[in-house]
């Protein structure tokens, strides 16, 4: 299955590519935060495939399964475990807290608590499907992986814990702007999980297990 993952920056040429044949094999769109709802809705409409997303630290407050779905027709994955197109997905939006009044920002402990909220769904997946998770999407990277030591871009330790326990095949995130993939690392592995910074977009082919 081919997945279009987007984050952080509107790419003008995607407006043209989406109406052509370039993404004709894409079967799922995943948004990793800090993108206008109109941009995501355009991609969803033109490609006519499911779209799951999490909010970034610059998005409106939109957390939890009961939150208002600010992307029309999309699936807010923040704090949720869902099954889409046969893939087991979970999402965690936001970033490390770097301002006292920051929206969609969390302390390390607060994010651990959010991760624990995913466990009922992950345990059910393991019982029913024999695995907890296929793809984890977040806005922030894990701690020490694709992050840096600035106050706003430090990774989240709870994501490292979740990845080690749930063992998703992929963890897709944004938040870190990568402008030269020849010089900056954007793909790393943590255990059996491929951790990918998708900035500003990537098309990934997810092989069948």
With tokens 């799951």, the residue in question is 52
CATH of the domain at 109: 3.60.21.10
Tens of pLDDT, residues 74-115: 999 999 999 999 999 999 999 999 999 888 999 999 999 999
* pLDDT given at position 184: 61
* pLDDT given at position 66: 45
Q: What is d(CA 20, CA 14) in angstroms, rounded to the nearest whole number? A: 10
* pLDDT given at position 65: 46
CA 97 remoteness from chain centre:
18
Domain that holds residue 137: 2-205
pTM > 0.85: yes
Q: What is d(CA 128, CA 184) in angstroms, rounded to the nearest whole number? A: 39
* pLDDT given at position 23: 96
* pLDDT given at position 180: 67
* pLDDT given at position 160: 98
pLDDT-flagged residues of the chain (< 50): 63, 65-66
Q: What is d(CA 14, CA 117) in angstroms, rounded to the nearest whole number? A: 35
With tokens 């936001």, the residue in question is 94
Residues in the chain: 209
DSSP state of 85: T
Q: What is d(CA 125, CA 94) in angstroms, rounded to the nearest whole number? A: 24
User: Number of structural domains, the chain?
Assistant: 1
């Amino acid at each position: 299955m081919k997945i279009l993952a987007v984050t952080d920056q509107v790419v003008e040429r995607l407006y043209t590519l989406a109406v052509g044949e370039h993404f004709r094999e894409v079967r799922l769109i995943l948004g990793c935060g800090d993108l206008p709802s109109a941009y995501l809705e355009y991609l969803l409409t033109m490609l006519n495939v499911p779209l799951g997303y999490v909010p970034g630290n610059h998005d409106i407050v939109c957390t939890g399964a009961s939150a208002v779905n600010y992307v029309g027709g999309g699936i807010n994955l923040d704090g949720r475990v869902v099954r889409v197109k046969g893939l087991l997905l979970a999402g965690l939006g936001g970033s490390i807290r770097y301002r006292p009044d920051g929206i969609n920002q969390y302390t390390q402990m607060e994010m651990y608590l959010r991760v624990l909220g995913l466990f009922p769904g992950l345990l059910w997946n393991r019982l029913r499907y024999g695995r907890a998770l296929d793809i984890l999407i977040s806005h922030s990277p894990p701690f020490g992986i694709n992050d840096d030591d600035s106050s706003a871009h430090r990774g989240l330790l709870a994501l490292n814990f979740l990845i080690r326990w749930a063992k998703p095949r992929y963890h897709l995130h944004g938040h870190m702007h990568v402008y030269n993939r020849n010089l900056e690392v954007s793909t790393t592995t943590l255990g059996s999980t491929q951790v990918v910074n998708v900035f500003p977009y990537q098309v990934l082919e997810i092989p069948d297990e």
